[in-house]
Structure 1
Amino acid sequence: MLCLSEWLLLAIVLHVASVEADRCPNGDMCEGDTTCCATDSHQLPFRCCPYVDAVCCSDRQHCCRKGYSCDPSGDRCVRVSADPVLCPDGESRCPAGATCCLMSDQRWGCCPLRDAVCCSDRVHCCPRGTQCDLQTLTCLRTEKRHWLLEMLAERRLGPVRMT
């Protein structure tokens, strides 16, 4: 029969074992209150973000707490609003964190990016701080704020199709 101290030790071991780890696609584990996020590094393709259920940013360098979204033009997190976005026609609405863009059929569509750039083809949109290159269907960075961002400035992002 187990004594009280053995029961306590068993309870602690079972509790620690029950804390789920986030498994990365390459098999690495992010322990405890962290989330696995992809990086651009070949040596370290994934890293552990220090937040539970985090949002991994598309720049593959930052992450945000749950309830926040990544600001595509910088390294900050923006609180996600639950209120829908009212489009300029005063009637159409897009989900919180989206951008209203006029589509080719003259209706308002929703770009799933906050403060996005609506492309002139009225079909695509790009993150803030980029411009649409419709020849190559890419989003080109227009802001160079930091030496690391300058190195990434040539990196091309694909445009997002509006819904």
Structure 2
Amino acid sequence: MDQYPDAVLFDRDGTLIRDVPYNGDPDEVEPMPGAREVLRALRARGVRTGVVTNQSGIGRGLLTGAQVDAVNARVEELLGPFGTWQVCPHHPDDGCDCRKPSPRMVLDACARLDARPGRTYFIGDIEADVEAGLAAGVTPILVPTPVTLPDEVDRAPRTAPDLLSALALVL
């Protein structure tokens, strides 16, 4: 069905779930408003979904990989399964090639989902998400939160006030 995108990718913190800085506790996971409904609508139409997330808490020594995995498992318990999880565990100063705004994780997610970048969306809450999406050739949608800077909103090619409004831009 070419009327729907191949895939929709999501940032995790501040987009799918409330942002709890360096969260290693699955009990602290709380879906963002509209997340369940958006994912249900996408999955009902056969649109593949994935998560692309920087988790520098690992590289900073504030979290373990096992803690991040436990939080991600809780996200799936609450929101359903995702076709791929792309996680950058590095510190921002590590110089890795995966940390957003690098396009690598977005492109890896597309490959894992067998999704064409030109028919994929990436929904996130900060400019690094938008930049990663643009660099990967997917369509980014910025859903601002209180931590999103006003000039990031101004520079974003597409914005939506919330996830349900972002869904309307996708379907």
Q: Which has the larger radius of gyration?
A: 1
| Structure in which a larger fraction of residues adopt helix | 2
* TM-score computed with the length of structure 2 as normaliser: 0.23
- Name which structure has the greater RCO, CA cutoff 8 Å, separation 6+: 2
TM-score between both structures, scaled by the size of structure 1: 0.23
